[in-house]
């Protein structure tokens, strides 16, 4: 009888210990990070899918701007070579490479939009206006998805660093997830150059 009481108390202690070890909370937050990351990838894919149409429309109006169009196409192609899987968020090096490629694509698109300013007839084209609105909307969705991912990662990273979750996280191999970072922080300190001269 005494042996059964000790076993029962031990079982209660184990159950209580596991219920407060943070394992379930870590699982929930890990899944929230994965879901937020999936939405980031979804929005990046949407943007990548729109780019060929945009390039085709611009090409019809601005054939002489070949260099910019090639840069956009190459940047999109580079993004396509990176395997954007859920596991990417567990590999800081691959995550940084993915982030860099997406940044290059964003920069190429910005250069393309600057070129578009030189072609009033292009800006008045219905197909172009529709595509531009879709890309602008997608850029906004990307910003929102990235912000939600950042918040989910912050919540997850804090969770695995607090006691007693930190012990559980180490036992089961949970580590911090990478965050989005600014590629060139020095650029944020420089004011943008504005040129009102006509070319």
Token code pair at residue 22: 């943070």
Domain edges within the chain: 36-153
Nearest to 33 by CA among 170, 180, 140: 180
pTM above threshold 0.85 = no
State residue 65's pLDDT score. Answer: 78
Q: For each successive 10 residues of the chain (199 residues), what is the average pLDDT?
A: 66 55 90 93 92 86 79 88 79 87 90 83 84 90 94 94 90 89 51 40
Nearest to 149 by CA among 95, 187, 109: 95
CATH of 36-153, one of 1.10.238.10, 3.40.50.300, 1.20.1440.20, 3.90.1150.10: 1.20.1440.20
Nearest to 148 by CA among 20, 43, 17: 43
State residue 153's pLDDT score. Answer: 95
State residue 18's pLDDT score. Answer: 54
């Amino acid at each position: 009888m005494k042996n059964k009481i000790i076993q029962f108390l031990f079982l209660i202690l184990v159950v209580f210990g596991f219920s407060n070890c943070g394992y379930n909370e870590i699982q929930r937050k890990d899944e929230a990070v994965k879901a937020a990351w999936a939405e980031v990838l979804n929005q990046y894919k949407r943007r990548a899918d729109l780019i060929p149409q945009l390039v085709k429309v611009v090409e019809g109006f601005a054939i002489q701007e070949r260099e910019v169009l090639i840069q956009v196409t190459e940047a999109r192609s580079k993004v396509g070579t990176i395997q954007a899987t859920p596991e990417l968020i567990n590999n800081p090096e691959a995550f940084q490479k993915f982030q860099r490629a997406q940044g290059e694509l964003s920069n190429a698109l910005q250069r393309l939009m600057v070129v578009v300013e030189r072609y009033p007839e292009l800006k008045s084209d219905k197909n172009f206006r529709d595509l531009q609105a879709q890309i602008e909307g997608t850029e906004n969705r990307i910003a929102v998805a990235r912000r939600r991912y950042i918040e989910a990662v912050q919540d997850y990273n804090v969770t695995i660093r607090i006691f007693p979750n930190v012990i559980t996280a180490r036992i089961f191999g949970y580590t911090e997830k990478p965050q989005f970072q600014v590629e060139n922080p020095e650029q944020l300190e420089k004011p943008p150059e504005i040129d009102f001269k006509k070319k």
